[in-house]
Amino acid sequence: MMRTPKYVSILMLLAVFLPIRQVFAIPEPVSDVRIIIDVSGSMKKNDPNNLRSPALRMVVGLLPESERSGVWTFAKYVNMLVPLRKVNDAWRMEAEKQSEKIHSHGLFTDVEQALNTATANQKTADPRYRRSVILLSDGLVDISTNEQVSKKSRQRILDKLVPRLKKANVAVHTIALADTSDHALLRAISLATDGWYEQVDTAEELQRVFLHMFEKSAQRDTVPLSDNHFKIDDSVSEMTLLIFRSKESKATELQLPDQSHISQQKSSNNVRWHREDGYDLITISEPQTGSWFIDADLDPDNRVMVVTDLKLQTTDLPNNILIGETFDFDVSLTEKGEKIVRQDFLKLVDGQLTLESEITDPIEQSLNSNQYDGVYKTHVGESFQPGRNDIVVTMTSATFERQRRQSVNVVETPFEIIVDQLTDESTRTHRITLIPDNSLINTDNIAIAAMLTAEDG
């Protein structure tokens, strides 16, 4: 009689050497951000209030001058909603106008055609650009009433389109809205291209997810917020505030350094105030120098973004890494593109690095003792936890404050494990199948060991 143990303990060991990875700084490229939005009929259910439109307008308002962006919608056909152009006031006005045309009337869901159309001119890598695609979909690949035709399209995405995008250094950030999405496909696309994957259960989450995807796609200088207080120095020529609101929140007001107040109803000519259900987006040119206060609810996703010659530069980390990987991490301040090396200036600067994860308390680290020739050096990774980890660098002095935040997705197990019980075998009881994620590991360097433990130990 075949005996099947009641308790089977399987230990998988990956013999993968994980050295400290070096990620070198390069001249600041121009962000090229292409946004692709699903307008198929299923969105009537999953986004009944069409919250895709204000989420898009938020990204449009946050995009910096002189970056490149375009917007496409798709269902059975692909429509260029906003042409790919350099971002300026005229482009923003056109994008805000066209955002009202986002609908939920389309037939089918042709993800392959949408990605191919939006990235048609991105065949090879170009170091002048930081290339990103933000793809939002709520369904499966569906291009025909013939199921096999749709399956072949899905496979072409994985076998042909994704390798081409990876070769061209296009990071595809995917948003899966609702349970009906092809989560496996969207996750595979993002992992293979070192993009970011987010699952969104309700459309009400879209605005915050679009903010996160924007921060993955385009870098903007920010100043830290502390209990809704922040400081603006005289190098700032423009600032943009993103302030989230709940339905019960009062109208947002700003207190200026001179103690005066402004609001959407009461502001001056240098203020552009855009209000949506859920957030305020406020741009102020030549803002007053000094301490500001946001009279609104505290929210961890509120941001103060600035246009300035005094910038904070940090190492760009990959979006997806394996647990146990560590990285050299450099921080520097620049003025008009030149690294600041003056020690009389830097000795008055306090540098802090904070590591945040979803399951542990924040870990703070001083950077002050590791500065040489204007570069603060450290390494990160040892304290990363599975899932999302945020790396926040804050540089402060008596005269200025700067902050940069980036996120990494830490993968604990870079393969899928499938255990099947065998009922028709005389000598074997179980079959174990490992499916590696080739975008994260080199299968040539893997050794696997299994330990079986019977119920008697």
Per-residue confidence in pLDDT tens, the chain, 457 aa: 333 343 334 434 443 445 565 555 446 899 999 999 999 999 999 999 999 999 999 999 999 999 999 999 999 999 999 999 999 999 999 999 999 999 999 999 999 999 999 999 999 999 999 999 999 999 899 999 999 999 999 999 999 999 999 999 999 999 999 888 999 999 999 999 999 999 999 999 999 999 999 999 998 999 999 999 999 999 999 999 999 999 899 999 999 999 999 999 998 999 999 999 999 999 999 999 999 999 999 999 999 999 999 999 999 999 999 999 999 999 999 999 999 999 999 999 999 999 999 999 999 999 999 999 999 999 999 999 999 999 999 999 999 999 999 999 999 876 666 777 777 766 667 777 766 666 666 666 666 666 667 666 6
Taking phi over 0 as left and psi of -120 to 50 as alpha, with beta for the rest, 335 belongs to beta
Distance of CA 205 to CAs 51, 119, 200, Å? 9, 27, 6
Helix axes 52-62, 89-98, angle to 10 degrees: 180
Distance of CA 313 to CAs 82, 300, 398, Å? 31, 22, 20
DSSP element (H, E) containing 192: helix 183-192
Report the Cα 22 to chain-centroid distance in Å. 21
- Domains of the chain in start order, with CATH, are 30-217 (3.40.50.410), 221-308 (2.60.40), 309-411 (2.60.40.2550)
205: which residues sit within 8 A by CB, 6+ positions away? Answer: none
* DSSP-derived pairing of the beta strands 236-244 and 279-285: antiparallel
Taking phi over 0 as left and psi of -120 to 50 as alpha, with beta for the rest, 420 belongs to beta
Q: What share of the chain is helix, strand, coil (3-state, %, to 5)?
A: 20, 40, 40
- Reference 138, options 79, 195, 203; nearest CA is 203
Q: Which two tokens stand for residue 148?
A: 């096999």
